[in-house]
Each structure stands twice: as C-alpha cells, then as structure tokens.
Amino acid sequence: MEPAELRSKLGGVIAFPVTNFKPDLSLDIDGFRRNVAEMTEYPLCAVVAAGGTGELYSLTPDEHGRLVEAAVAEARGKSAVIAGVGFGGGLSVALAKQAVAAGADGILMFPPYYPNADFEGLLHYYKAIGEAVDVGLFVYSRDWVNLTASQVARLCDELPNLIALKEGQGDLRNYQRVMARCGNRLHWIGGIGDDMVPGYYAIGIRTYTSSIAVIAPRLSLQLHERASMLDNASLSRLMSNYVLPLYALRARRKGYEVSVMKKAMEILGKPAGPVRPPLPETRPEEVNEIERLMERYEPVL
C-alpha cells in the first residue's frame, strides 16, 4: 500500500492485538490468528502487529516476522496492518524490511533502545528505517521520545514517507503545539489509551489506538463515534461505566496495561496466555475484580 493510500484509510480505531503465548512462553500463533480474525470482522481502520500491547520488546526477529505474516493473512485487506519496530538501527531496519516483505502496509517506529539519545541521533534512527522501506511510517512519541513541534516539523522535512504521529505522552498542550506547527503534513493519532479519547477528540483528533479493542471492538468504535459527534453525555457514560474502571486496574502496576488485558481476554474465552518477563502477571486476588468488570462489559461485547 502506498503511503498516501494508507493515510487516506486512517480514521477511527486502530487496534493493538496482544501477542499470544503458551504456558511455556512460546509463541501461540494460532491464538493470535484467531484474535486478529475476530477483531477485523469489525470496521477497524488498522491493526498493529507487535506493538506495545503485543510485547514487541520480548520478541525474537523470527517471532516478529511470523506475527506480521499472520496478521496480514487474517486481516485479508479489511484492515490495514502496521508493524511495530524498535530496538536499534540495525535491528529496526531488518525488522521493517522483513515486515514489508510479509505484507505490512505501514511501520510504527517505537523509541530506540537508548533513552538519552540526542535528537540528531533519533533523526538518523528514523531516517534509516524510512530509507529501507517505501511504505508509510508512523512515529511513536512515547517514553523517552517526547517530540517538540520543531522536531516533528524536522522529521516531516527529512522523511518523505512519514504519514502520521502517534502521541503516547498524553500531553495535550504539547500535541496542540505540534498540530498547529505542522498542520496537515501528518495524520494525527491519539495514542496513549482509550481513557484519553475525550481529550484527544476535543482538540480535533479523529483516530485513536485502542487496547480495549482486544476485548470489545464494539466499545472502541462507540467511543470513536460518540466522541466524533461531540455527544459528551453518551461518551461520559461509556467512560464511567467501562473505560475508567478498566484503566484504573491497568494503572496499579507497571506492565498491567498488558497483563490485565490478557486476563480479561481469558475470562471472556479469548486466547491470550501469560505475559513474558519482565511484565508481571495479575495477582490472584485481582482476578475476581476483572471478572466482575467483564460481567459489566456484557452489553458492549
């Protein structure tokens, strides 16, 4: 898919499937295939294989390639497939090339391994990926990569196939500055979580990345629809009833943003499996809380 074509398809919900593991922590590709096939029965604009929810940094290059290939096969063109890449210059380029060869429509560029990189070093990291593949690129501003408006403008100048920014800081003040500076040079994505939909959509964003889509794609789409219509009363009810209680559980421990989602999936009968270290498993006493919350989710499943 040409970068401009991919950009034209971005609008609504981008889903982040988990990476399924067996009890021995080996890859469960069949479980992953089932989840992607079920998710893409809904009108999601894209799915991200090997993203943050997909435990990118725990994967081997071979596993990464298998996940992208499986996502492409199961999405069957109904949703675009974006592959997450990270680590460092050599490995990120190799993963990007491998993903495009497997059929990925775009590349989501995670921060590199070095948390104190100067912007010039980051620029070279992103450019190496962009020069290696001809598909659309997404830059992911999260963790130690917190880009300013002038830095995003520089990326636009230097990367001709950069089409979108996924904001993962939750800093709406800075995001507004970036959007004002760069205008329509990029597609703007709300990328820190379903709980930020009201804020993102209030500043004009109309695409967001959803973790909730792994358990309730209908709810993810409803959040997008209500927020797009500025139906604040309906949006507030969805947030209060479903989103905020789930995100409160996810916030209890670092890594729970994946662990809680996998446990919720299993409670709902979806394949998920354990998380890989260093992510922690949910505590046994918290499973009952997740079960009760999933009972509340029944109307939106």
Of 125, 126, 166, 247, catalytic: 166
Tally of CB atoms within 10 A around 12 = 19
Q: Is 140 a catalytic residue?
A: yes
Q: State the Cα–Cα distance between residues 240 and 287, nearest whole angstrom.
A: 21
Separation of alpha carbons 193 and 170, rounded Å: 9
Contact 274, 281 (CB under 8 A): yes
Say if residues 55 and 19 touch (Cβ distance below 8 Å): yes
Verify whether residue 114 is a known catalytic residue: no
The C-alpha R_g of the chain, in whole angstroms, comes to 18
Choice among 22, 42, 126, 140 that is catalytic = 140
133 DSSP assignment: -
Name every residue whose Cβ is closer than 8 Å to that of residue 108 and which is 6 or more positions away in sequence: 48, 51, 82, 83, 84, 85, 138, 140, 166
25: left (phi over 0), alpha (psi -120 to 50) or beta: left
Instruction: Give the CA-trace dihedral at 225, 16, 49, 148, to 10 degrees.
Output: 80
Integer Cα distance of 36 and 42 in angstroms: 10
Dihedral angle, C-alpha 90, 96, 101, 104, nearest 10 °: 170
Rounded to 5 degrees, what are φ and ψ at 164? -155, 155
Distance between CA 217 and CA 213 in Å, rounded?
Answer: 4
Peptide bond preceding 278 in cis form (omega within 30 of 0): yes
Residues annotated as catalytic (active site), given as ranges: 140, 166
